[in-house]
Every structure is written in C-alpha cells, then in structure tokens.
Amino acid sequence: MRQSTLFTKTRKEAPSDEVSKNAQFLIRGGFISKEMAGVYSYLPLGLRVLNKIISIIREEMNAIGGQEVHFSSLQEKATWEPTNQWDDKEVDVWFKTKLKNETELGLAVTHEAPITKMLKDFIYSYRDLPQAIYQFQTKFRNELRAKSGIMRMREFLMKDLYSFNVDERAHLMFYEKAKEAYIKIFKRMGIGHLTYLTVASGGMFSKFSHEFQTITSTGEDTIYINEDTNIAINKEVFTDEVKNNLGLGDNFREAKAVEVGNIFTLGTRFSDALNLKYKTENGDSKSVFMGSYGIGPGRVMGTVVETLSDDKGIIWPESIAPFQVHLLAFGGDEAVLKEADKVYDSLQKNNIEVLFDDRSEISAGEKFSDADLLGIPYRAVVSTRSLKDGGIEIKKRTEEKGKVISLDELLKLLAPNH
Amino acid sequence: MRQSTLFTKTRKEAPSDEVSKNAQFLIRGGFISKEMAGVYSYLPLGLRVLNKIISIIREEMNAIGGQEVHFSSLQEKATWEPTNQWDDKEVDVWFKTKLKNETELGLAVTHEAPITKMLKDFIYSYRDLPQAIYQFQTKFRNELRAKSGIMRMREFLMKDLYSFNVDERAHLMFYEKAKEAYIKIFKRMGIGHLTYLTVASGGMFSKFSHEFQTITSTGEDTIYINEDTNIAINKEVFTDEVKNNLGLGDNFREAKAVEVGNIFTLGTRFSDALNLKYKTENGDSKSVFMGSYGIGPGRVMGTVVETLSDDKGIIWPESIAPFQVHLLAFGGDEAVLKEADKVYDSLQKNNIEVLFDDRSEISAGEKFSDADLLGIPYRAVVSTRSLKDGGIEIKKRTEEKGKVISLDELLKLLAPNH
C-alpha cells in the first residue's frame, strides 16, 4: 500500500487523556481511534493487525476441531435466568436495553448460555459428542473505570470457544489440547516468552481455572512464577494449601501481569440449568460436561504494544505486523523515485506485504520517526546514498544499523514463509 | 468437511413461528439459529456463506479504493446531537443503554457521524481528499415487527462505505464508480439478473438516491421497471414528474422487490454539522462532500434463498455456496466407502471445497433430501451402482439427471476458477 493514499496520519503527541502506553502508541500511529473511555475503533493499520491475530487463533482453534459460528449480541432475559445471571447483582457488567414493547434485552457479556441453548437442537446421543464451538464476537461489559486503552474495554472482540463432552474425563482430554493450542497461539504471536500458564480461581464451576498471563509492569494482576516449572499461580489463590496441592515447592518470584487468555471447566452448570442432556450408550440421560476458552484479540494487540515497544514506538512481531516491510523513498530525485517504484512493484509481485512511504513533502527524519512509531519489522530505504552503495538499505526494527543489499537479496530475505 | 463431524443437523420441519421462506430453509438446513424475533445467529454452514458474500463485497470495495475500518457499536449522545439524530422522535429505531454513571449510550443504527468525527483528525487540505472508508459492522435497529427471517433484522451485519470528496462534481464521479461496483457485486452473487437499479427518494440529503432492488414476491417494496432501460423507480417516488425528469417514458411494469443495497448522496449535512472542513487550493475553508453506500450481507443471503430456491430447498450460486460439491457415499459396502474416501481426499488436495456425507446410519433417500435442502451447487454420488458404471455420478443442483464421470473428470470439472 502507498502511504500517500492511507487516510490516517501519525501524530507527535497522544491525546492528553490517554494514560496507557498501548493507547498512546496506537493512537499516535493511527491504528485505533477513541470513541469514548473504553471504546475504540480500528483504523486500517489496526484492523490489519487485528485480522492477523484472528487468523492465528482461528487456525489453532480449527486444528483442535473447533467449528466456527457467529452469535448475536442481543440476548434475552430468559436465556440467562436459569443460571441466575440476568440479575445485575449477580453479573454487574450488563448493558441492558429494551424492545419497543418494553421487553428487556441484554448485550452479550459472554455466550455460554445462548450456545448451550442452541445445541439442544442438535445433541441427542453420546454419538453427537464431543463438540467444540467457537466464534469471534463482540462482548459488552459495563466497566466502572476504563483507563487501560485496548486492554480493558467496554466493547471488545473475543474469541470464545465452548467444549461439550460426555463426561469430565473426556472434557479433561480436550482441556489439555486447548491448553497446548493456547501456548502455541501466544508463541506464534511473539509473546510466548513472556506468557505463563497460571493457576487461578475456578470461580463457581471448579477448583481451579487456568489463565495465560503476560508479564508487563502495567498489568492489573499479580502472579507468582515458579522458577523450577515456569508455572505461575495468581495472587488470588496463592496460598500454602494451593502450592502444596500443585506440588510446586517454594521457589517463586512475583510479577505484574495481564491476562491474555483463560480456560475454564464449566462442568454441568449450564447444561443442568438449560437442560442440555444426551443419551448414554445404556440409554441413560446425562448432562453434557462443558468448558469455556477465551482470548481477546484486542487485548493481545494491546499487550504486544505494552511489552514489545521501545521509546520510539511499537515493535510488531512478524506474525501480526500490519505489513512485513516499510519501504521509504527519500529525495525528489527522479532516479530514486523510479528505483523505489520498481522495488515496490517487485515486493508486491512477490506477495510481500509492503507499506511504501512515497509521500513527497515529508523529510527523511520524519519518515524515519514514523517507521519507528509504526513498528513494521523491516525498514527498506531507497535513497541517493543507498543507490550509490549498490542497492537498498535494509534494517530490522530491532537493529541499530542497516546494511545495503540488492533487490534480489531483499526479495529472498522477505519471501513469505522464509 | 466430513458431515459426520458437523454439529448441525437438518430438520424436516421449520419452527411453526417462522413464516418466511428464507428462515424456514436456513433453519431447516442448520445455517442459522433463531435467538428471538429479528435476531439470528450464524451456524457453521451459514457463516461460510456469509463470509463468501463478505469477501466478494470486500474485493469490490477495495477495487474502488475503499479502506477498511471497524467502528464500535456503542455510540455517544454527543456524536448524533449535531445532526439532531439522537432524539427518538427523529430516529425511531434506536436501542439505547447506559453507563454505570447513567450516561446514555446508543447502539449503532448507522455510522455516518462517528466516521465523520474520526476523519477530523486526518483531513486538513484538499490534498487529503478523496477518501472512501468502509467496514463490515453490526447495526442495531429496534424494529416494531420482525417477521422476514434474515431479511429484516433487529441486529444485522452491514457493509457501509462513506465517501469524502472536495465537491459535488468529484463526489458524483465516485458515486458512479460505486454504482458500477454494486452492479458487479450482485452479478457475482448470482442475483444480478433479478436486481434493478432503482431511483428512490433522496431523503433529507438530495433529490434522489439509488436502491438496488431484487425482484421477489415476498419483497416489502414495490418498484416500476422501465422495460426499455431496465431502470426502475420506487413506488414512493413514481410520479409523472419523476418519470419525465428521468426521461424514461411510460413503458413500466410493476414488481414486488427487496432492497439489497442503496447508495446515497449525503452532501454536506454531516460535515457541516460536525465541522469536517478542508482548505482548498486557494486557502478557503470548505465542507467535505459526502456519500453513503450500504449492503446487508445477511439480507443478500436471505434474498438468494427467497429467489433461487425450489420446493426441495436452497440453490446456492457457486460464488457464495458453503461448499462447491456435496459428496454422498451410500451403502455399508467397504469398496464404496474406500472409493468415496479416496474421492474426498483428492478433492481436498485439489483445493475443492467439499462437504462429504459420510454418515453411516442415514438412508440414500435422506441423503438426497439433505443435499437438495442444503443446496450445494454440485452433488457427487459414490455408490455400488456408480462404481459399476465406472465412476462418480455428478449432478448440478439445478439438473434433474446426473451422469457418471471419472475422478479425473470430476477434478477437472470442479477445479477452482474453472
């Protein structure tokens, strides 16, 4: 894409009401736009990153047998009454609204109940199980405060998967597969080395759940990482009893972290309440055993910015970068512009995603700052000097100095799946 | 995909409260699930169709220079007050909700205002124009009645594009490009021959707007199609004055139709009210000239079902079918199953999207009915008889009789982009 045609522009300063690093960099780079506290919109560069995150998650969910659906945001009172979750005292983040005839509706906080209800049309016998059903869909949560940019939003995209099995044993086998898939996802997104499988409270459903916590000084959670196993325990359940229970000894270090994913055993709470039963091989009727598995793609994006940026801007991992290479052309010199155009065309023909800073009235210094702020993994400069040195100056966002290589070498370096 | 692993099943009868053909077939086929009147969720087969519709629209919007964004559903009062559209008396389909501190919010009925507001950060000069910005995003409309399945929903996906130009002349050039793109989109989706460019009321913004109306007996609109030009006029503006104005003579036929898209000149209503101005070459300050362009992918899906089905089920056009071929295997015979498996693997290896009805306890008759109901363009049968006749029996959904061909011939017939 030619940067001259991109409608967004970078800015030098973030709005003064943004206190979080992720919102500051993402707004300065034109990745997102703020609607109100806790509500952001994705602009073209941000949407490209978001879609790459979604693609990685989708691939891994499909790989463990997930089937994708898309449920509605509007939900009925009757859907959440059986589990007592309609009451604002029980679930305190509802946004509610009304039909013309005064019927109360809720905006999806989560989707366990509607998906369980829908499955009653399709599950009759043990032969219809197991199932794993997932979606990427907006959740609405009426948070009292929202100051963490896209890390804690009132409206946000979530990948939520729900698993349905005949019993706890079958459930746990899937749960382990999901755990492995999650580890893979965070690794692929470039935050694997900072992300810890963390034992947390199981809530109302089971003894423990698992969170995936990424270490960052701005995290809202505190975790204790076991130095021997790299398994962490959330502060909320960090007791001697739990440590002994898990057999983890006493070698822990404390860290601030943000929850980028969680997996839960739901058991039969929803299937009992909503009557999702199946016939066993013996003809008995039994409640389906459920689990729930969430990741917020927007929060992952925010976490990457919080953890992988430097003071000049963002450093996107290649897997989720909006483009693979940022091509910069300097000077009004005809020869330079012609050569840069040629490089741009070659990159595109070779299916290498390139943002081409072809803007004419922008100084070299500004182009360099913009490239650092936008954080595309590779920067390729075509200038009078680079041409004199025999080609294109290539530099990784993480490197201090670049080197001059030929167009052929550039295409080889950036070839998809290199 | 193996049908035995798909969690949805077909049903013989639609729920008795569904009166529209699209909802009946789509629910019977397991494409969608009803949450409440006017609110449906997409199940795996339905989501595949929806995503293909989205892809076609996205390609054509990118082709006319559209840049994709994703705006929030939650909207502030302040965003819609300048155009007087916050008031329920002015816009009578709002769903409203509240923050904890009692601040009123609205659920997106449309997105002209927030996108105009956002652009104020990026548009300064005539050099920053033109722009065309689009998204696929949920709209919420508090309809009094909702009985038309996915044709008129209270929550639905919409592709909305907004154009921003220096003046009316530049606007009209883009408007024509968008019109051509829309004609192409409906053609690619298989309803081009039933869809008419229709002159309609311009509302508050301009004299006329254009709708794309698809003829169907269940349509809510009445249009008059000019037999000489194939341009139609919506009943609401079908007067002698308008006919003369458009120079269309008097050779019209009446038809019931459904609006599958619309394009509007907005003029400077939003840019005036929200103060989106730019500096001209002379340094004058001028309001940006806007247009708006909508298509509801779900409504298109419903319209295809309404118009292209027969009494046995749906007939998907190849471009938006959930799969290209429905492979059916009959009989418990080992040889048949082995051969069908081989055909399935070959199709997949050749990137041909195939739904493989490998279910063992289902009769041939039921498999045939399911295939007709699901409406996949090609049906390929592997049976004792087809093997005896030398291969696979292939039949188009629209054909009465099939013919037996070899696996090689099948792969050639169904090759992507054949």
pLDDT, tens only, B158-192: 999 999 999 999 999 999 999 999 999 999 999 99
Q: CA-to-CA distance for A190 and A243, rounded, in angstroms?
A: 29
- pLDDT tens figures, A335-392: 899 999 999 999 999 999 999 999 988 999 999 999 999 999 999 999 999 999 999 9
Question: Cβ B96–A97 below 8 Å, yes or no?
Answer: yes
Top-level class of domain A21-221+255-308: alpha beta
- pLDDT tens figures, B292-347: 999 999 999 999 999 999 999 999 999 999 999 999 998 768 889 999 999 999 99
Nearest to residue B164, comparing CAs of B117, B233, B210? B117
User: Residue B93: closest CA among chain A residues belongs to which residue?
Assistant: A100
Question: Cβ A155–B73 below 8 Å, yes or no?
Answer: yes
Q: Which of B9, B100, B107 sits opposite A144 (nearest CB)?
A: B100
Q: Which of B96, B100, B119 sits opposite A142 (nearest CB)?
A: B100
Residue B57 has pLDDT above 90, yes or no: yes
Q: CA-to-CA distance for B296 and B50, rounded, in angstroms?
A: 10
Nearest CA distance, B405 vs chain A (angstrom) = 33
Please report, for residues A189, A296, A305, B356, the alpha-carbon distance to residue A218 in angstroms, rounded to integers and kept in the order given: 19, 17, 11, 50
Q: Which pLDDT score is estimated for B54?
A: 98
- Residues from chain A that touch B50, judged by Cβ atoms under 8 A, are 70
Q: Which pLDDT score is estimated for B418?
A: 55
Average pLDDT over chain A reads 95
- pLDDT tens figures, A59-87: 999 999 999 999 999 999 999 999 999 99
Domain made up of B323-414: CATH architecture: 3-Layer(aba) Sandwich (3.40)
User: Residue B6: closest CA among chain A residues belongs to which residue?
Assistant: A67
Average pLDDT over chain B reads 95
Give the residue from B62, B69, B145, B360 with the most A CB atoms within 10 Å of its CB, the best one to mutate. B69
Q: Which of A39, A67, A123 sits opposite B74 (nearest CB)?
A: A39
Residue B249 has pLDDT above 90, yes or no: no
Q: Which of B68, B72, B119 sits opposite A40 (nearest CB)?
A: B72
> Sorting pLDDT into bands at 50, 70 and 90, what band is B205?
low
- pLDDT tens figures, A238-265: 999 899 988 988 899 999 999 999 999 9
- pLDDT tens figures, A15-48: 888 999 999 999 999 999 999 999 999 999 999 9
Question: Cβ A70–B39 below 8 Å, yes or no?
Answer: no
The mean per-residue pLDDT over the stretch B386-399 comes to 96
What kind of fold does domain B3-308 have according to CATH?
A: BirA Bifunctional Protein; domain 2 (3.30.930)
User: Residue A40: closest CA among chain B residues belongs to which residue?
Assistant: B72
Residue A208 bridge partners (DSSP)? A201
> Sorting pLDDT into bands at 50, 70 and 90, what band is B224?
very high
User: Residue A360: closest CA among chain B residues belongs to which residue?
Assistant: B127
- pLDDT tens figures, A177-229: 999 999 999 999 999 999 999 999 986 667 789 999 999 999 999 999 999 99
Q: Higher pLDDT residue, B203 or A353?
A: A353
User: Residue A69: closest CA among chain B residues belongs to which residue?
Assistant: B43
Instruction: Label each residue of chain B as H, E or C.
Output: CEHHHCCCCCCCCCCCCCCCHHHHHHHHCCCEEEEECCEEEECHHHHHHHHHHHHHHHHHHHHCCCEECECCCEEEHHHHCCCCCCCCCCCCCCEEEECCCCCEEEECCCCHHHHHHHHCCCCCEHHHCCEEEEEEEEEECCCCCCCCHHHCCCEEEEEEEEEEECCHHHHHHHHHHHHHHHHHHHHHCCCHHHEEEEEEECCCCCCEEEEEEEECCCCCEEEEEECCCCCEEEHHHCCHHHHHHHCCCCCEEEEEEEEEEEEEEEECHHHHHHCCEEECCCCCEEECEEEEEEECHHHHHHHHHHHHCECCECCCCHHHCCCCEEEEECCCCHHHHHHHHHHHHHHHHCCCCEEEECCCCCCHHHHHHHHHHHCCCEEEEECHHHHHCCCEEEEECCCCCCEEECHHHHHHHHCCCC
Q: Which pLDDT score is estimated for B387?
A: 93
- Residues from chain A that touch B39, judged by Cβ atoms under 8 A, are 72, 74
Q: Which pLDDT score is estimated for B202?
A: 82
Which residues in A112-244 belong to E strands, given as ranges?
Answer: 131-140, 155-165, 195-201, 208-215, 221-226, 232-234
- Residues from chain B that touch A118, judged by Cβ atoms under 8 A, are 33, 41, 43
Question: Cβ B74–A122 below 8 Å, yes or no?
Answer: no
- Residues from chain A that touch B41, judged by Cβ atoms under 8 A, are 69-72, 114, 118
* Helix/strand/coil percent split, chain A, to 5: 35, 30, 35
Report yes or no: A147 and A112 within 8 Å, Cβ to Cβ. no
Q: Which pLDDT score is estimated for B204?
A: 61
Q: CA-to-CA distance for B17 and B19, rounded, in angstroms?
A: 6
Q: Which pLDDT score is estimated for A203?
A: 67
Q: Which pLDDT score is estimated for B145?
A: 86
Q: CA-to-CA distance for B149 and B19, rounded, in angstroms?
A: 8
User: Residue B75: closest CA among chain A residues belongs to which residue?
Assistant: A35
Q: Which of A47, A97, A123 sits opposite B95 (nearest CB)?
A: A97
Nearest CA distance, A19 vs chain B (angstrom) = 19
- Residues from chain B that touch A107, judged by Cβ atoms under 8 A, are 97, 107
Domains of chain B, by residue range, sit at 3-308, 323-414
Q: Which of A7, A11, A107 sits opposite B131 (nearest CB)?
A: A7
Nearest CA distance, A149 vs chain B (angstrom) = 14
- Residues from chain B that touch A155, judged by Cβ atoms under 8 A, are 72-74
Residue B202 bridge partners (DSSP)? none
- Residues from chain A that touch B96, judged by Cβ atoms under 8 A, are 97
Question: Cβ B154–A121 below 8 Å, yes or no?
Answer: no
Residue B63 has pLDDT above 90, yes or no: yes
Question: Cβ B72–A8 below 8 Å, yes or no?
Answer: no
- Residues from chain A that touch B75, judged by Cβ atoms under 8 A, are 35
Query: Is A385 in a helix, a strand, or coil?
Result: helix
Nearest CA distance, B39 vs chain A (angstrom) = 7
Q: Which of B42, B122, B140 sits opposite A7 (nearest CB)?
A: B122
Residue B203 has pLDDT above 70, yes or no: no
- Residues from chain B that touch A73, judged by Cβ atoms under 8 A, are 73, 138, 140, 155
The ipTM is 0.97
User: Residue B107: closest CA among chain A residues belongs to which residue?
Assistant: A97
- pLDDT tens figures, B254-282: 999 999 999 999 999 999 999 999 999 99
Q: Which pLDDT score is estimated for A249?
A: 87
Q: Higher pLDDT residue, B248 or B196?
A: B196
Q: Which of A36, A67, A105 sits opposite B44 (nearest CB)?
A: A67
Give the residue from A4, A6, A7 with the most B CB atoms within 10 Å of its CB, the best one to mutate. A7
Of chain A, the percentage scoring pLDDT greater than 90 comes to 90
Question: Cβ B122–A44 below 8 Å, yes or no?
Answer: no
Please report, for residues A10, A331, A338, A348, B177, the alpha-carbon distance to residue A1 in angstroms, rounded to integers and kept in the order given: 16, 20, 17, 9, 21
Q: CA-to-CA distance for B2 and B7, rounded, in angstroms?
A: 11
Inter-chain contacts counted by CB atoms under 8 A, chains A and B: 128
Q: Which two tokens stand for residue A369?
A: 């700052």
Q: Which of A33, A69, A131 sits opposite B41 (nearest CB)?
A: A69
Question: Cβ B69–A47 below 8 Å, yes or no?
Answer: yes
User: Residue B43: closest CA among chain A residues belongs to which residue?
Assistant: A69
Predicted TM-score (pTM) of the model is: 0.97
